[in-house]
A and B are shown apart, each in its own frame.
Chain A
Amino acid sequence: MLAIADLKKSFVTPEGGPALIVDVPAFSLTAGEQVAVRGESGSGKTTFLHLIAGILAADAGRIAVDGRDMAELGEAERDRLRAEKIGYIFQTFNLLQGYTVLENVVLGMSFGPGADRAQAKILLERVGLGHRLSHYPRQLSTGQQQRVAVARALANRPRLVLADEPTGNLDRKHARAALALIRETCREAGAALLLVSHDEEVLAQFEGVRDFASLNRSVSP
């Protein structure tokens, strides 16, 4: 499902020199596999996920999602691949504040296979928000917003779900519930899950936990 080889990404520092942020020789995920990656803030985890999602272009190396090499795709094709194959759950949810709960999910679908309001409603009911379809994100609790983000990420039946500190803004109780929801829905959809977190309680729930420092050579262990 996901295969990474010799992935490198540098940024220009304020001083003008290059700073290697991501240097991952190898990483892979099989279909339906759920892996958590432990990493501290600022270690380059988000950049790593952005590279996998095609939001950022790698300087070198290979990222293959569902057999398609990101480096060989143009930007528009990467956008399409992201819309159709990848679901991304952001730490801050990144919901569109001017759109209703239902529109947030439907809009996410419209860039992929196509908007399906009925399917979006089913998904939102599945995450317990069937009664909040016309609410705006600001009218929801943090936990509810997280559930909208989960529904949106899964709306296009992605093959790969990326979750960036998905419980970082939730209290213990909601964090546990959100994580269970993400894992369960991924399992049901047969999607691979790559979750990055520095929360040990979250990481403890995964069988396969990888240390980002061991994956990324640019980070001092």
Chain B
Amino acid sequence: MTIPLIVYRSLRQHALSTLVTAASLALACGLLLTVWMVKVQTQRAFLDTSTAFDAVLGARGSKLQLVLNAIFHLEASPGNVSAADYEAIKHHPAVKAAIPIAVGDNYFGWRIVGTIPGMFTDIEYTRGKHYAVEAGGRFFDPAKREAVVGALVARRLGLSVGDTFKPYHGLSFNPNAQHPDVYTITGILEPTNTPADRVIWIPLAGVQTMTGHDPQAATEVSAVLIQLRAPSAGMMLDILYNRQGNRLTLAYPVGAIIADLFGKISWLDRVLALIAYLVAVVAAGSVLASIYASMAARRRDIAILRSLGARRRTVFGAILTEAAVIGLLGAVTGVLVYAGLFTVVAGVIRVQTGVVLDVLQWHPVLVICPLAMIALGAAGGIVPAWKAYRISVAENLAPSS
């Protein structure tokens, strides 16, 4: 009980500096965990989401824009695909499924996407899982002005089956651009934790023939989501559309395009990680500084302990343990900081992208980072511990006679 008692008493005696130092370690731990977990989960979520389709066919332009628009419902559509082109890819022998989508409207900022029922009945949004509507609802009738609402949109706007709404033109909400067409909600999608949760789905014809839309584009689609019969067929289609053709773009393979996106923004991860590492180093320095600064006041206590028979290594161990305990306090609090920070960040990401991040999802870094904080705290205690180790007992037991 010797070292625990010494450590406990010392921490109590220096409670304020202990709390401040532990708080700085907690901040570092929380930041590191958040940066790491957001990066890992976001990448995984984006890649998982994109696994439902092998390729996207759209107007000539950026493959990344095409994928973001068609799969993640971000960005604007680069242009339209004609009905003939849609029919061509749909009946291509290498294509297993071709799901057209049409965009261009919103409801209070939430994107409205036109598609065909096959999107919900034929496609697994992730391995082994089909879209489903909550009890009491059904998918829309493609011939009617009906809508199925994503789980997040329904919750945020308070929509339920039987409600009606009028779409607004454009991808951004403009109260002066409301269409007169009235849609009735027939179903609320069960949460999928994918971008589909933040979309209002209506029949493809609904977007194509919306009052006010260009009648000449009434048969066009914004993009075609493609499942291939064999992955190798993508190479052939890539040559067909991207090299030999000049009107359309085939974004293939989707996973690689998303990976490329993360590659392009990896500098941001590195900057955030660097900031977190710097905070951690500063926190370790603060452990060193706070204990070292208190050494003058501790000299007499240490000399008394030594005069009672405490070995030098006991004193060294006590200071090192104290530093490690500060690290432990920082690590534990850091996990709480992470939980709070991650929840906020995950909320923003969900609203912006539809990707759902889980604060409780296991990853080894959840253990490694707190352990590193404890080690960092202990490392910050080495210099003060060495100073304590070298304290002269006789010189610090005043006065003498």
Bind each other: yes
Interface residues of A (CB under 8 A from B): 39, 41-43, 45-47, 50, 53, 55-56, 75-76, 79-80, 82-84, 88, 90-92, 94-99, 103, 106-108, 110-112, 115, 152, 164-165, 168, 196, 198
Are A107 and B305 in contact (CB-based, < 8 A)?
yes
Residues in B whose Cβ lies below 8 Å from that of A50: 393-394, 397
Q: A41-B401, A45-B401, A98-B10 are in contact. Are A108 and B308 (CB under 8 A)?
A: yes
B9 close to A112 (CB less than 8 A) = no
B352 within 8 A of A: no
Chain B: residues with CB nearer than 8 A to chain A? Answer: 1-2, 5-6, 9-10, 12-13, 300-301, 304-314, 393-394, 397-401
B399 to A92, Cβ gap below 8 A? Answer: yes
Give the residues in chain A near B310, CB-CB below 8 Å.
Answer: 79, 83, 111
- Since A50-B393, A55-B394, A94-B300 are in contact, a sample of 20 more A-B pairs with Cβ atoms closer than 8 Å, ordered by chain A residue number, is A43-B401, A47-B400, A50-B394, A76-B311, A82-B308, A83-B310, A84-B309, A91-B399, A92-B399, A96-B305, A98-B9, A98-B12, A98-B13, A103-B5, A107-B5, A108-B309, A110-B1, A115-B1, A165-B401, A198-B401
Cross-chain pair count, CB within 8 angstroms: 92
| In the A-B complex, the 6 residue pairs with the closest CB atoms | A83-B309, A111-B309, A46-B400, A110-B2, A98-B13, A108-B308
Q: Which residues of B contact A41 (CB under 8 A)?
A: 401
CA distance A97 to B301 in the complex (A): 8
18 contacts between A and B (CB under 8 A): A42-B401, A47-B394, A55-B306, A56-B394, A75-B312, A76-B311, A79-B310, A79-B311, A83-B308, A90-B307, A92-B398, A94-B397, A96-B305, A98-B10, A98-B301, A107-B308, A111-B305, A115-B2
Chain A minimum-CB-distance residue to B308: A108
Name B400's closest neighbour in chain A (CB-CB). Answer: A46
Q: Which chain A residues border B1 with CB–CB below 8 Å?
A: 106, 110, 115
Contacts of A106 in B (CB 8 A): 1, 5
Which residues of B are found within 8 Å of A196, using beta-carbon distances? 401
Nearest Cβ in chain B — how far from A64, in angstroms?
18
Known: A53-B307, A55-B307, A111-B310. A164 touches B401 (CB 8 A): yes
Decide if A103 touches B312 in the complex (CB within 8 Å). Answer: no
B308 adjacent to A103 (CB under 8 Å): no
Which of B13, B309, B394, B398 is close to A80, meaning CB atoms less than 8 Å apart?
A: B309
Tell me the minimal C-beta distance from B251 to chain A in angstroms: 67
Task: Report the bound CA distance from A112 to B400 in whole Å.
Answer: 25
Least CB distance from A219 to B in Å reads 13
Which residues of chain A are near B6, meaning CB under 8 Å?
107
Determine the chain B residues whose CB is within 8 A of the CB of A82 once the complex forms: 307-309
Separation in Å of the A126 CB from the closest CB of chain B? 19
The residue on A at minimum CB distance from B393 is: A55
Tell me the bound Cα distance from A188 to B98 in angstroms: 99
B residues near A111, Cβ cutoff 8 Å: 2, 305, 308-311, 314
Residues of B within 8 A of A47 (CB): 394, 400
A150 to B300: give the CA distance in the assembly, Å: 19
Most buried by A among B307, B310, B312, B393: B307
